[in-house]
Structure 1
Amino acid sequence: MTPSWTLYPAARFSEFQDAWQHLNREGKNSALLDPAFLAPALELFGTGKERLAVLGGSTPSAMALLRPTGRRGWETFQPSQCPLGSWVSHPSLTWQAVLPPLLRSLPGFPVVLGITQQDPDLFPRPPASRTLKTLDYIQTACVTLQGPFEAYWQARGKNLRANMKKQRNALTKLGLEPRLEILTRAQDMDQAVRDFGQLESSGWKNDQGTAIHRDNAQGRFYTRVLESFCARGKGRVYRYWFGDVVTAMDLCIADESSLIILKTAYNEQASHGTSPAFLMRQESFQHLFEENALDRIEFYGKVLEWHTRWTDEIRTLYHINEYRWGFLPGLLGKA
C-alpha cells in the first residue's frame, strides 16, 4: 500500500523533530534544514496557520512545513531568515511521486503547491511535466576548501589582493591593529548578537527598520540558533576588530561539510576608508583552509559582484510548482 500524507498543526513540530532530522541525515544533512534552525523560525516567524505534512507512518519518507498562500495555494514555510524552503525527504523519492498526493491532501482545495528555494546540491532539480514546473530563483555562490589557502588566494583577482594589501598598510599607518576573533561558546552568543545588532544599527538597515536587535524577533532567532549550534560544536561567530572597536562580524552555522554564513554586518563609521568585511573574510577564509575540517563555505544569498571576487563557483537555486490540473500552467503563463 502506498504511504499517504498526514497533516498536523505545525505547533506539533517538536514531536517529529527526530524523524525530521533522520531524513535530513539520510540526505546531505544541511544545517539549514536542522530542527535547531527551523524550530525557532517557526516559533518566532510563523503565523499559526502552518501545517506539518508527514509522508508515511512511524518512519516517514518525506516531511514538509507548509503555509497557505492566497485563497487556493500552499507553499513551504520559509521566512526571510531561512534560505531554503522547509522540506526533507529520502533520496530515493522523486518530486513527481510525492507532490501530487501532497497537493490533494491539503485543505481548501488548493490548485497549486509551491516548494520554494531548493538547492540542487541537496535535491536535484526535477524535469518538467504537465503539472510540475520549475523556475530559477537566484544564483548563489560557494568556496571549496581544497588545497592550501595560498593557492586559493593567488587565484583571486589581482585587484582584490592588491586592495587588501593596500588597506592593511593604511591601517598600519593609522596605528590600528586588525584582529580576528572566533567565538564558538554558547554562552558568548547573546553578547555576539548584541554586538552584531549594534553594527547593523550603525548602517542603512537601521533606517529601514530591518536591523537585528537582541530583543526583537530577529535577535531572538539568531541567538537561539547560534546557542543551539554552538552547544553541538557547529556554531561560530567571526568578530573583527580595529584596535578596540568591532568593525565587522559574520554569524555562521555548520553541518558536517559546510560553513554557512547567515548574516554579515560591518561598522560603516569605523571603517577608515577600508572594507572591514573583506579584511575579515580574508583572515576567516585562511583559518578555514588551514583548519581543514570542512569542505566548503556557503553564502546562500543572491550572487553580487563582490561574491565573484571570492569565487567562481556558482549554482542556481530553484522553485517547484505542482498544479492540480495540467492546463493550469499554460493558463497562468507558467508553461
Structure 2
Amino acid sequence: MQASKLHWQNLPADALQRNTDLIAEWDRLNAARADLPFMTAHAVQLALTIFGSGTERLLVAKQSESIVAMLVLVPDGLLQWRTFQPSQLPLGVWVAENSLSSTDLARSLVKGPLGLCLVLSITQIDPLIAPRELDQADTKQIDYIDTGWIEITGTFEDYWAARGKNLRQNMRKQRNKLAAEGVVTSMRVLIAPEEMADAIARYGVLESSGWKASEGTAIHPENQQGQFYIQLFQNAAKHDGAVVYEYLFNEKTVALNLCIQRKDSLVILKTTYDESIQAYSPAFLLSQDEVEHIFGQGKIRRLEYYGRMMEWHTRWTESKRTLYHLTCYRWAWLKNLAGRRQKKTEHIDTSLPQTLAANHVHVAQQVTPQESSP
C-alpha cells in the first residue's frame, strides 16, 4: 500500500469519543495489527480525557473509502507534531493496516494534512508491530528503551530450571525464612469488574509508601492516575481483559501487579511492593507465583513487560527488543541541519557553563523534537 495514495481527515481528537463509526474502526485496526490491550479505543479515550491538553488531533487516513490508519497527534513545538504519548501508555497512540509502515505514515502526514509541518515524530514504536527500517534521507530512528518478555512455552518446571541458580536459591531461602517466622504467603488473582477499584486503591497505598510518594507520581483513587487505572481496569474486566495479581503475608498486601490481556498476550502495566519489607523479596515471590499460575492456566503465550528492561528483568527472561522513535523531516536538508545542530549542542554541553549550554539546547530543539520521557 503506497502512502501517497492516502487521503487524510484532520479532526479534533474528541471525535474518537463521539463518533461510534470511528471508535469501531479504531478497534478494528488495533485488532488486525497487534490487538494491544492498552490501545483500544476505550483506553485511548480515557487517556485523552484525563491526560490530554485539548490540542490533540485525530488524523484519519482513507484509501478507496476505507479507513486504513488513525493517529492521535499533538503539537510539539513550532511547526512540529508527535504522537500523543502519556506515560501511562507504553507506546505512541496510533493504529494502521499491517501493510502500512510507520515511515509511510509519517512521510504522508508531514506533507499532507497538518499544514506546514517541518517535523513529525512517532514515539515509542514496538518493532514487533512496525519493524524498524533503515534511516532514509528524510527520516531518523532513535533507540528508546530495551524491553523484555517471557514466552510461555513448555512447562513451568522447565522454565524455572532454566533460571539462574541465585534466583532459585534466593526464592527458596525466602520461603523457608517466612515459614520459619510463621508468615503464611498467598496470592490472589482478581478478575471481576467490582474488584478493580479496591485493588487499585490497595496498589496506591503501597506505591504511596515508597519512593514515588516523594515525587508525586504515586497512584491514588482521587488523582488522575488513579481514575485512569480504575476506569481502564473496570472496563477491561467487563471483557475478561483485566487481571490483578496480589501477594499477601498473613492476609496483608505486600505486592501487586496490574495486568491487562487480549487473547494470548498479558501485559504487566504497573507493579509495586512494600518497600519496608524489601529484604523478603515480596515482588520476586509474587513474580514467581504469577508466572507459575500463567503456565498452569495454559491460555497466555506471551507475558510482556513493556517497561525499561532493568537488571532484575534479566533474572526472569533473556528475551529483549528495542523500542524506538521515528522522526520524519519535511526536507532532507532539514534533517542534516538538525544533525549538525545536535552535534554542536553536544560539544557545547561539554565545554560551556550550564546556563549557556541550555540556551543552545533550546535552539536545537526547535528543529529536533525532544525524546519522550520513559
TM-score, scaled to structure 2: 0.87
Of 3, 8, 22, which aligns to 2:28? 22
Q: Distance in 1 between matches of 2:230 and 2:79?
A: 36
Matched residue, 1:177:
184
Aligned pairs for 1:29-108 (under 5 A) are 29-56=35-62, 59-107=66-114
1:92 positional shift:
1.1
* Deviation digits for residues 91-128 of structure 1 (CA, Å, limit 9, x no counterpart): 11233433222112344622100000010111111222
1:26 positional shift:
1.5
Opposite residue 101 of structure 2, the aligned amino acid is T
Matched residue, 2:212:
205
Instruction: Report if aligned partners of 1:65, 1:87 keep a CA contact under 8 Å in 2.
Output: yes
Q: Distance in 1 between matches of 2:32 and 2:115?
A: 32
How many pairs does the alignment contain? 334
Opposite residue 189 of structure 1, the aligned amino acid is M
Q: Are 2:171 and 1:168 equivalent residues in the alignment?
A: no
In structure 1, the residue corresponding to 2:279 is in which secondary structure?
coil
Opposite residue 247 of structure 1, the aligned amino acid is V
In structure 2, the residue corresponding to 1:142 is in which secondary structure?
strand
1:290 positional shift:
0.9
* Deviation digits for residues 151-192 of structure 1 (CA, Å, limit 9, x no counterpart): 000000000000000001111111111100000000111101
Q: Are 2:10 and 1:7 equivalent residues in the alignment?
A: yes
Opposite residue 39 of structure 1, the aligned amino acid is Q
Instruction: Report if aligned partners of 1:53, 1:64 keep a CA contact under 8 Å in 2.
Output: yes
Opposite residue 13 of structure 1, the aligned amino acid is L
Opposite residue 228 of structure 2, the aligned amino acid is F
Matched residue, 2:247:
240
Q: Distance in 1 between matches of 2:216 and 2:36?
A: 30
1:72 positional shift:
1.9
Aligned pairs for 1:135-150 (under 5 A) are 135-150=142-157
Q: Distance in 2 between matches of 1:97 and 1:170?
A: 57
Larger Rg, first or second structure (1 or 2): 2
In structure 1, the residue corresponding to 2:256 is in which secondary structure?
strand
Q: Are 2:225 and 1:218 equivalent residues in the alignment?
A: yes
Say which is worse superposed, 122-131 or 315-324, in terms of deviation: 122-131
Say which is worse superposed, 77-86 or 58-67, in terms of deviation: 58-67
Instruction: Report if aligned partners of 1:253, 1:259 keep a CA contact under 8 Å in 2.
Output: yes
Opposite residue 27 of structure 2, the aligned amino acid is Q
Q: Are 2:321 and 1:315 equivalent residues in the alignment?
A: yes
In structure 2, the residue corresponding to 1:80 is in which secondary structure?
coil
Instruction: Report if aligned partners of 1:36, 1:229 keep a CA contact under 8 Å in 2.
Output: no
Q: Tell me, which stretches of 5 or more residues in structure 1 are unaligned?
A: none
Say which is worse superposed, 98-107 or 42-51, in terms of deviation: 98-107
1:240 positional shift:
0.6
In structure 2, the residue corresponding to 1:127 is in which secondary structure?
coil
Q: Distance in 1 between matches of 2:89 and 2:148?
A: 16
Q: Which has the higher helix share?
A: 2
Opposite residue 160 of structure 1, the aligned amino acid is L
Opposite residue 30 of structure 1, the aligned amino acid is L
Say which is worse superposed, 201-210 or 178-187, in terms of deviation: 201-210
Q: Distance in 2 between matches of 1:40 and 1:96?
A: 27
- Provide runs of 4+ in structure 1 moved above 4 Å: none
Instruction: Report if aligned partners of 1:95, 1:126 keep a CA contact under 8 Å in 2.
Output: no
Q: Distance in 1 between matches of 2:79 and 2:185?
A: 54
**How high is the sequence identity, in percent, across the aligned residues?**
41
Say which is worse superposed, 109-118 or 95-104, in terms of deviation: 95-104
Instruction: Report if aligned partners of 2:102, 2:130 keep a CA contact under 8 Å in 1.
Output: no
Opposite residue 24 of structure 2, the aligned amino acid is D
* Deviation digits for residues 284-329 of structure 1 (CA, Å, limit 9, x no counterpart): 1000011110111100011110000000000000111010001122
In structure 1, the residue corresponding to 2:129 is in which secondary structure?
coil
TM-score, scaled to structure 1: 0.96
Of 283, 292, 302, which aligns to 1:286? 292
Opposite residue 11 of structure 1, the aligned amino acid is D
Instruction: Report if aligned partners of 2:101, 2:130 keep a CA contact under 8 Å in 1.
Output: no
Matched residue, 2:335:
329
Structure 1 vs Structure 2 CA RMSD: 1.5
* Deviation digits for residues 41-78 of structure 1 (CA, Å, limit 9, x no counterpart): 11100000000000017531011000000112100001
Matched residue, 1:277:
283
1:31 positional shift:
1.2
Q: Distance in 1 between matches of 2:165 and 2:263?
A: 33
Q: Distance in 1 between matches of 2:207 and 2:154?
A: 34
Instruction: Report if aligned partners of 1:193, 1:214 keep a CA contact under 8 Å in 2.
Output: yes
Q: Tell me, which stretches of 5 or more residues in structure 2 are unaligned?
A: 344-374
